[in-house]
Chain A
Amino acid sequence: AQSVTQLGSHVSVSEGALVLLRCNYSSSVPPYLFWYVQYPNQGLQLLLKYTTGATLVKGINGFEAEFKKSETSFHLTKPSAHMSDAAEYFCAAISFDSSYKLIFGSGTRLLVRP
């Protein structure tokens, strides 16, 4: 069965530092891949997605992610963290069985230190 793994339940960075949140998927066929963000007491907002085409995808708020088939990874990065980036981030993948269900990783909480 397809699965999504996020390394690190908590990541702490200083304001202005690089943000790197890791995501790996397990699938025999490259899935559609997504990053969602959840701010405190809010729902999920789509940050970016990879379906086909360019493997480096850009999203909102300066985030980007690169699909690497050889590494089965889809890591999320941002060059310079802002205090407002503090939130929980979820990596997710669409399974290509008949259901096209969205499968989530367990989430990574990003803390930004002043």
Chain B
Amino acid sequence: DADVTQTPRNRITKTGKRIMLECSQTKGHDRMYWYRQDPGLGLRLIYYSFDVKDINKGEISDGYSVSRQAQAKFSLSLESAIPNQTALYFCATSDPQGAKGYTFGSGTRLTVV
């Protein structure tokens, strides 16, 4: 099994719909992250969580919310999807200072039509 598992892998949804992307990890780390990737922009941080009770906004959190259900689970929700949220979304986890590097999931490709 992969260290970080994201579901679904691909999703097409309509404008205005609520959608949840799920992430689970088996690394045993407290820290988890959600990033979005857009061509030419690299990866930008949406939300991050230091532990189950500590959730923080990243640089592009508007229009998104998250839930940390357990140490191993961190989900991302789009409350009312809009077309410019079409992107590739990555979940990641890390040790406390990230010195070993982040471990990423395989990504969820979301298309909002």
Contacts and interface: CB of A to CB of B under 8 A. Distances in A.
A106 interface: yes
Interface residues of B, number: 26
The 5 closest A-B pairs by CB, nearest first: A104-B42, A43-B106, A106-B42, A104-B43, A44-B104
6 contacts: A32-B97, A43-B104, A44-B43, A49-B100, A101-B45, A106-B40
A1 B32 CA distance: 21
Given A43-B104, A99-B56, A105 B98 contact: no
Nearest to B99: A51
B42 A94 contact: no
A6 B40 CA distance: 11
B43 A49 contact: no
Given A101-B45, A104-B42, A106-B42, 19 more contacts: A32-B98, A34-B101, A42-B106, A43-B90, A43-B106, A44-B104, A49-B101, A51-B99, A92-B43, A94-B97, A94-B99, A99-B48, A100-B94, A100-B96, A102-B33, A102-B92, A102-B98, A102-B102, A104-B43
Contacts of B101: 34, 46, 49
What class of interface size applies to chain A in its complex with B?
A: 20 to 34
- Chain A binding surface SS class: strand
B108 to A, nearest CB: 10
B33 to A, nearest CB: 7
A9 interface: yes
Interface in A74-112: 90, 92, 94, 99-107
